[in-house]
Chains A and B, each alone.
Chain A
Amino acid sequence: DGGITQSPKYLFRKEGQNVTLSCEQNLNHDAMYWYRQDPGQGLRLIYYSQIVNDFQKGDIAEGYSVSREKKESFPLTVTSAQKNPTAFYLCASTSGQGRETQYFGPGTRLLVL
Chain B
Amino acid sequence: QQQVKQSPQSLIVQKGGISIINCAYENTAFDYFPWYQQFPGKGPALLIAIRPDVSEKKEGRFTISFNKSAKQFSLHIMDSQPGDSATYFCAAKGGTSYGKLTFGQGTILTVHP
Contacts and interface: CB of A to CB of B under 8 A. Distances in A.
A31 interface: yes
B106 A40 contact: yes
A112 B46 CA distance: 31
Contact of B104 (A42, A58, A92, A102): A42
A41 B105 contact: yes
B96 to A, nearest CB: 12
A70 to B, nearest CB: 19
Q: Which DSSP category, helix, strand, loop or mixed, fits chain B's interface?
A: loop
A104 B45 contact: yes
A43 B103 contact: yes
A45 B106 contact: no
Interface in A40-94: 40-45, 48, 50, 58, 90, 92, 94
A106 B101 CA distance: 18
24 contacts: A4-B43, A33-B99, A40-B106, A41-B105, A42-B89, A42-B105, A42-B106, A43-B101, A45-B100, A48-B99, A48-B100, A50-B98, A50-B99, A58-B100, A94-B99, A98-B32, A99-B99, A100-B32, A100-B34, A100-B93, A102-B99, A106-B42, A106-B43, A107-B42
